[in-house]
Amino acid sequence: MTVNSWQHDSEYVALVSDLLQRDEVLRLAEFTQHYYSNRLEHSIHVSYRSYLIGKKLGLNTRALARAGLLHDLFYYDWRNTKFDMGTHAYVHPRIALRNAEKITDLSPMEKDIIIKHMFGATLALPKYKESWVVTLVDDYCALEEVGDPLYHRAAARIKKHFGVSIEQ
């Protein structure tokens, strides 16, 4: 599988097609995320890879696909924006949740996935296995998108936690 094969995976597309038609989601393409990727590409990578892992593990693939896609639904450049309320790591999951709630209904699991996806940089413990998947896949995708070889370490962590490989 390559990360772009999601377009040919009709089962996956069916889970997110309504979201991929929303301007609020498509606008993410205007923002650079990790040097070589825009925020829409990054969000789809996280969503699809989380979905594939969830499928292998019998987890909630709908929550993984949808909350994975919405986990970074914010519209500022994180590299040059500062907040009074806290760090970017703390603030942006909350902004993403607020934006996501405006365009779709979210289950408690989907909310947890979005709000806890920066675990490691933030303290609140993910409540569901699905939330752990997305936070680890997010690390992996971010490292891979900047071409940092440490993404192999992130892949090893996913293998250790879940017993499945993110790379095929």
DSSP state letters, 91-146: HHHHHHHHHHHHHS---HHHHHHHHTTTBTTB-SPP-SHHHHHHHHHHHHHHHHHT
Minimum distance, C-beta of residue 10 to Fe ion, in the bound complex (Å): 25
Minimum distance, C-beta of residue 117 to Fe ion, in the bound complex (Å): 6
Angle at the Cα of 83 (from 121 to 105), degrees rounded to 5? 70
The single residue among 138, 139, 144, 145 that binds Fe ion, judged by CB under 5 A, is 138
Nearer to Fe ion, 91 or 109 (CB): 91
Site for Fe ion in 60-79 (CB under 5 A): 72
Nearer to Fe ion, 108 or 120 (CB): 120
Handedness of CA 26, 3, 76, 121 (dihedral sign): positive
Collapsed DSSP state (helix, strand, coil) of residue 32: strand
Q: Taking the chain, what is the end-to-end CA distance rounded to the nearest angstrom? A: 6
Minimum distance, C-beta of residue 58 to Fe ion, in the bound complex (Å): 24
152: DSSP letter: H
Task: Give the whole-angstrom CA distance, residue 83 versus residue 140.
Answer: 26
Nearer to Fe ion, 104 or 122 (CB): 122
Nearer to Fe ion, 72 or 130 (CB): 72
Span of 10-18, 121-129, 137-145, 154-162 interacting with Fe ion by CB under 5 A: 137-145
Q: Does 145 bind Fe ion (CB under 5 A)?
A: no
Nearer to Fe ion, 58 or 85 (CB): 85
Span of 15-23, 99-107, 108-116, 136-144 interacting with Fe ion by CB under 5 A: 136-144
Give contact residues for Fe ion (rule: CB under 5 A). Answer: 72, 138
